[in-house]
Structure 1
Amino acid sequence: MAGFAGMTALDPGLPLTQAALWQWSSQAPVALSGGLEPGPDPAHTAEQLTLSGAVDEAAFFQALEQLWTDLPQLRARVALGADGQVRHWLGTQPVQQPERWEGRSPAALKAWHRRPYELETGELTRQAYWTDGGGGQLNYLLGVHHLALDGYGYALLWQRLAAEYRALTLGQPRPAAWADIRPVLEEEAAYLASGASAQDARALEALYTYRPAEPAPLLERGLAWGHRASVQLGLDTRRELETLAQQAGVNWAEWLLALLAHDWWLETGEAEPLTGLAMMNRMGTPAAGVPLMRMNMLPLPTPAPAILDPADLGHAARQIRATLQELRPHARFRYEELWQRLGQRRLFGLEVNIIPFTLPLDFGPEVQASVQSLISGPTEDLAWTLSAAPGQTLNVVLEGHPALYSPEDVQARLSRLEQWLSSRRT
């Protein structure tokens, strides 16, 4: 296997991960034959870090500079190489200082998020910060093109920034160097060249054998940033959910997948829909400690219980658990490639992202830290995001395509889930 270890500044760049390559295709479909058509909204993401308490601003910005110094893959130029393939050149951009904002209207903030990234000149990220005016609170806004980073990658960045800050303010050791991106690319190249890729494709294609072929909705209306609503469910609700799941012999996420399938059935009549389940594809691979774009979507049959009864939900959840165990080994095959192989048909309706890696951020005993996802990329229909750390509250975000759902529709769907879960509390 030819490796990438010998690449230098004179070499023609590195290939993208497969996930990043498809994101490039959605931004610039002329670059790849048969690429995804762009929707009305770009493949941008953004998260906001808020620090309060005894924040040492000088140490924060020093930690931030160190963070970006150590991330050449996020200071990279992405463009077509001399061979016609999309490549990226690491570390071609200097470390950028965040913009300081004194105030920003909602319209100006939306424009900031929507402004295209100049990928070919090396703009993969943008940053801004502001304070509360009276001191004690610092807000840092990070925007990243989706080809450069997924949700797990964001989590790695925030944990690293906290560790750099503690090293400066508490004298703790600096974190170890990031893992290199090259083994990730070598592993992907080996997978694509192996029989495993073709085997995974066949296993996923089999899910559609007896399903009617419908054109993918994105062909007509494109992908778009959805109307968004969110709620934080309390610990009592979280504990009751875990109790119900345990009684059914599943985990809380599998139990919620059954409940969300029921909700989808109420609106669409699909008794056994295919749900697009986000898969981080990191654990046990060279990508486990590398900030990049890796996430994939796995089409998962999710039988919908017709009655909201714990026994029926538990039965459906156990079916989902067994099917997920069967399909998980095939989750590396890119869903965009599957979409092309199946003639650009609809792959799934509902999308669900379950985030089990939301860990508290430790900036020291005198600083409180929180992170809020502002933009997670465009959606095709309806997308749920469920995140929780062990022993913490459950955060639920729902996004609905604006051509299909009004803000009131999205809030009503979220409220229905919240009310049902609250009604189960003992």
Structure 2
Amino acid sequence: MHDTQQLPLTGAQAGIWFAQQLDPDNPIYNTGEYVEINGAIDVNIFKTALERVLTEAASLHARFEEGADGPKQIINPPFEAAIDVIDVSSEADPKQAALRLMQTDLAEPVDMAAGPLFRDILIQAGPERFFWYQRIHHIAIDGYGFSLLARRTAQMYTAIREGRPDNGRSFGSLEDLVKEDQEYRASDQFLKDREFWMEKFADEPDVVSLAERAPRTSTRFRRSTAYLSETALQHVKAIPNWHEAVTAAAAVYVHRMTNAGDIVLGLPMMGRIGSISLNIPSMVMNLLPLRLSLRPDMNFHEAVSQVAKEIRNIRRHQKYRHEDMRRDLKLLGDNRRLFGPQVNVMPFDYALDFAGARGTVHNLSAGPVDDLSINVYDRADGSGMRVDFDANPEVYSAEDIENHQKRFLLLLESAVKDQTQKIGTLNLLLESERLRVLDSWNDTRKAEKQKSLPELFYEQAVKTPDRPAIITENEELSYAELNKRANQLAGMLKEKGLGPEQFAALLLPRSQELAVSMLAVLKTGAAYLPLDPDFPSERITYMLKDAQPACLITTMELSGRMPEDSDAKRIILDDPDTVKTVAAQNADCPAQAECSPLHPAYIIYTSGSTGKPKG
């Protein structure tokens, strides 16, 4: 292909194009990897091999413009790529210097209309140590596309270095890929796939996240990297469908952390099996919602079986784009998501050999992370199983993501060791959290002075004097006002001899006066006996004779309810003489008697349904 060519966008490309238009300067769609090459390589031969491979990859030479019928991609004739060679071997820490260089480049936005969509740098960190860095906009490539470029480059380099013909297979046609995508979108299968997904999500399930706030697209992501222990790796690999087991562990983790039974994870699907895209570096990958139903009484094996069954089910409909699902389900706009955390267990490995020099691949960025992405790499370089937690820094702190990762690995290790365990019993607590729950939170011993109810109330009144303490239909009383009125009434009650080990009966309706009187009695050190004015007269009479209160506090209207033969002193709150006496008392003094915690505070009578009421 030597002439400029115009092609429509595939469904995968269209989703990214429209998303990028919402924020053109956001570099989050820059995807990047680097290959760490250990061994002596010929820089000039490497550049020659890479230039040839980049020429073969048509998607890298595209520009994207908006035409009258929508966006289109313009495939330019292959050009000689500018492959930078940078030497950082003199730096104090060459690898860190190389990583800083890569991260700086990844943060640069790409103009899709102008291009180029990619950049390659060969970074020399020593005589026999190199980092080959590739940054490509996600609209042109996915993770599998990176592997095609890397393998082809290693193959081409080895052939040139060894002086033999390149017998490798060139990449397929991007035009054929676009045609295949258009044929699918015009097919009956497209309609069947749409029907499948609409039926599956007709009930509009809630999307569950580990974040406390609704995630939004950010301009970067936060990564935490860890490795599965050797013992755990052996247990994982002993499971025939270990990919599903890791995915099930992620679902169980979300279930346990949120207590939600309906879990929807994001599951990347390569989408290339049985397609011509199997040999075309391009953007094909789809994100599908994996919906699961989990219960604490299920064992882990049942969860894995459900994951395996559901993946087989949705794989038959994997070509239907998740962007189309969101549109069909009207999940448009900020925070209208189709799934929560994503789980990506990499199904392919890089076995890179540059004429005897070993190449190990490291991912830097796989595109946007709206919420959380759990990426699991099973590399053949002897480093074991790597688990990356990529998170949106807008909603997850560094501590959040590290703790989530540690808990997930604990749960995974426990689950794969014995799949018969109930998922509700799998270990989640970190050692620091276990000590906090079992020791710190249970260490309730305190050396403090015991305080009475009046003392505690008085402290609160000093802290918040103007806040409402009592609210009734007609008015409200502040803490300061309630304290003042209770002090004045308590002063009068003490003058009448009321104190500890005595009772004061309160025959009052539910009102401010009742609350003032209860607090005033407590301030004298005495206990109160509430009497409901709606009680039958016989019950009131019985309670007064049984309790033998020192006084009865009531109103003029209710005083007639008192038995004539009662010895209790009557204090009529609304009697003019009582009002005058109370008003003359010191309102500022707490008026609190010295009393012991063993002194009674109140006396309450039972209903008497099984005999006489008991106080």
For residues 99 and 150 of structure 2, what CA distance do their matches in structure 1 show? 25
Structure 2 residue 50 is the aligned partner of structure 1 residue 56: no
Return 5+ residue gaps in structure 1 as ranges.
1-6, 30-36
What residue in structure 2 maps to residue 241 of structure 1?
A: 236
In the alignment, is the contact (CA less than 8 A) between 1:39 and 1:223 conserved in 2?
Answer: no
Provide the secondary structure at the position in 1 that maps to 2:354. coil
Considering only CA atoms, is the larger Rg found in Structure 1 or Structure 2? 2
For residues 269 and 289 of structure 1, what CA distance do their matches in structure 2 show? 43
**Greater RCO between the two (CA within 8 Å, min separation 6)?**
1
Q: Deviation string for 1:76-99 (max 9, x for gaps)?
A: 222224544322224364422225
For residues 157-196 of structure 1, the aligned pairs below 5 Å read 157-174=149-166, 175-196=168-189
In the alignment, is the contact (CA less than 8 A) between 2:45 and 2:160 conserved in 1?
Answer: yes
Match among 116, 121, 126 for residue 109 of structure 2: 116
Q: Which moves more between the two structures, 157-166 or 100-109?
A: 100-109
- Cα RMSD after superposing both structures: 2.8
For residues 175-324 of structure 1, the aligned pairs below 5 Å read 175-212=168-205, 221-233=216-228, 236-243=231-238, 245-246=239-240, 251-304=241-294, 306=296, 312-324=299-311
What residue in structure 2 maps to residue 350 of structure 1?
A: 341
In the alignment, is the contact (CA less than 8 A) between 2:98 and 2:131 conserved in 1?
Answer: no
Identity %: 27
For residues 272 and 356 of structure 1, what CA distance do their matches in structure 2 show? 26
What residue in structure 1 maps to residue 515 of structure 2?
A: none
In the alignment, is the contact (CA less than 8 A) between 1:226 and 1:402 conserved in 2?
Answer: yes
What residue in structure 2 maps to residue 15 of structure 1?
A: 8
Amino acid in the other structure paired with 1:150: D
In the alignment, is the contact (CA less than 8 A) between 2:85 and 2:121 conserved in 1?
Answer: yes
For residues 380 and 101 of structure 2, what CA distance do their matches in structure 1 show? 37
User: 1:108 offset after TM fit, Å?
Assistant: 6.2
For residues 84 and 330 of structure 2, what CA distance do their matches in structure 1 show? 43
In the alignment, is the contact (CA less than 8 A) between 1:379 and 1:401 conserved in 2?
Answer: yes
TM-score by length of 1: 0.86
User: 1:412 offset after TM fit, Å?
Assistant: 1.4
Q: Deviation string for 1:319-345 (max 9, x for gaps)?
A: 111122122111111101111111114
What residue in structure 1 maps to residue 56 of structure 2?
A: 70
User: 1:279 offset after TM fit, Å?
Assistant: 0.2
In the alignment, is the contact (CA less than 8 A) between 2:217 and 2:368 conserved in 1?
Answer: no
Provide the secondary structure at the position in 2 that maps to 1:284. coil
Q: Deviation string for 1:39-80 (max 9, x for gaps)?
A: 965311111111112222222122112211222321222222
What residue in structure 2 maps to residue 403 of structure 1?
A: 394
Match among 124, 129, 132 for residue 137 of structure 1: 129
Amino acid in the other structure paired with 1:261: A
For residues 407 and 343 of structure 2, what CA distance do their matches in structure 1 show? 17
User: 1:148 offset after TM fit, Å?
Assistant: 0.5
Provide the secondary structure at the position in 2 that maps to 1:273. strand
For residues 220 and 405 of structure 1, what CA distance do their matches in structure 2 show? 9
For residues 282 and 323 of structure 1, what CA distance do their matches in structure 2 show? 19
For residues 213 and 272 of structure 1, what CA distance do their matches in structure 2 show? 8
For residues 422 and 349 of structure 1, what CA distance do their matches in structure 2 show? 23
Amino acid in the other structure paired with 1:331: Q
User: Structure 1 residues 219 and 92, CA, compared in 2 at 3 Å: closer, same or farther?
Assistant: farther
What residue in structure 1 maps to residue 75 of structure 2?
A: 89
User: 1:266 offset after TM fit, Å?
Assistant: 2.5
Q: Which moves more between the two structures, 91-100 or 141-150?
A: 91-100
For residues 331-342 of structure 1, the aligned pairs below 5 Å read 331-342=318-329
What residue in structure 2 maps to residue 417 of structure 1?
A: 408
User: Structure 1 residues 83 and 336, CA, compared in 2 at 3 Å: closer, same or farther?
Assistant: closer
For residues 207 and 38 of structure 1, what CA distance do their matches in structure 2 show? 34
Runs ≥4 residues deviating over 6 A: 105-108, 214-220
For residues 200 and 56 of structure 1, what CA distance do their matches in structure 2 show? 50
User: Structure 1 residues 176 and 10, CA, compared in 2 at 3 Å: closer, same or farther?
Assistant: closer
What residue in structure 1 maps to residue 509 of structure 2?
A: none
